[in-house]
Structure 1
């Protein structure tokens, strides 16, 4: 499957997601968090650094659960309009990418 290049808005959402997860993790080790969420530490590192801007939904759900974050809170945080974000209807595309 060919993956389309990410839009600037998707890259920004990925960066906000990574920042949110780093803040929520606090002093907890990346290794412990990843193992508790049943994802590889490398996957968590890439998500937190913004290198994986559109991670799979089950991955985010597992990490959010371990960190005590609701998916509603995660969704609200990563979709905050910043720096002239696109039209309101662009959220559907982000949900589709997050689910893939």
Structure 2
């Protein structure tokens, strides 16, 4: 794993942790159909490259646009919304 991947994983995890707010990790994990341990690993950056389906499920549960998560993971792309 590259340093860039590790850094992106930490940014993603911190953002998801903030988006979770006061909700219990087990509640969010269950709603996203992942284990609480997987959520913990993502939030702490220990799982720096989670599967897309996992990220998409968390985004849906936390009401976070996938575009926001892409921008967090790949800020150098400077993604712009179209529409």
Give the Cα–Cα distance (whole angstroms) in 1 for the partners of residues 39 and 17 of structure 2.
10
Alignment-derived partner of residue 81 in structure 2? none
2:24 aligns with 29
Count of residues in correspondence between the two structures: 77
Who is 1:54 aligned against? 49
**Pairing 1:45–2:40 present:** yes
Matched, 1:73 2:73: no
- CA distance in 2 between partners of 1:77 and 1:14 (Å): 9
Structure 1 outlier segments of 4+, above 6 Å? none
Structure 1: gaps spanning 5 or more residues: 1-5, 82-87, 89-100
In the superposition, the TM-score normalised over structure 1's length comes to: 0.74
Residue number in structure 1 paired with 2:58: 63
Per-residue deviation at 1:80?
2.2
SS at match of 2:64: coil
